[in-house]
Amino acid sequence: MLTRLLKAAGALRSPGWMMAGVLVAMLSCGPVSAQEILPETAKPPEKPESSESREERLAKYLSGTQFVGRFTIDGQEAPPKEEAYTISKCEKLPAKDMYRMTARIKYGDVDAEVPLDLKILWAGNAPVITLDSLWIPGMGTFDSRVMLHVSKAGARYAGTWQHGKVGGHLYGKIVPLP
């Protein structure tokens, strides 16, 4: 209708008004996505659909792994100490961001396998194991942030830990159990 009015008024004779007419025609078509405009070859590749959520994939990935690395203690000049945590099983719990890891932990004189209900948050596509005043039987209360990075080159972890007034950094590789 607007085009008929503009034609009747002779407005579409100038190049500026022609462009305005084209814009009005385009806008009257409704919203258009870039996918509809781009040629078929320019469309981004579609991601394969998976029935598993990233949370389920993470739990499956962590089951049967070992975190092998080192940790530091703030204020000590000593070289980093070795650490190893064996995750026999990891499962996503119904509560948001909560997982249960059955882990064998060696800490001081303690060597025990314990179920740990842990919060795992996401920083983009990187999971971050988050401990806030988590009491571990026989070991004490811990706070920690440990980011996991899984790539084609392998998997690594890095983060910080706190146990009362003592804290430091931890880092290493995540390897599948034999």
pLDDT at position 43, please? 46
* Residue 153, pLDDT above cutoff 70: yes
Separation of alpha carbons 22 and 29, rounded Å: 11
Is residue 86 within 8 Å of 177, Cβ to Cβ?
Answer: yes
* Domain boundary assignment for the chain: 2-42, 54-176
Average pLDDT over every residue of 43-72:
83
pLDDT in tens, 81-122: 999 999 999 999 999 999 999 999 887 788 889 999 999 999
Spell out where the chain has E strands.
65-71, 81-92, 98-107, 110-123, 126-136, 140-151, 154-163, 166-176
Task: Report the SS3 class of residue 26.
Answer: helix
Mean residue pLDDT across the chain? 80
Of residues 139 and 95, more confidence is placed in: 95
What's the topology of domain 54-176?
A: Lipocalin (2.40.128)
Percent of the chain with pLDDT over 70: 71
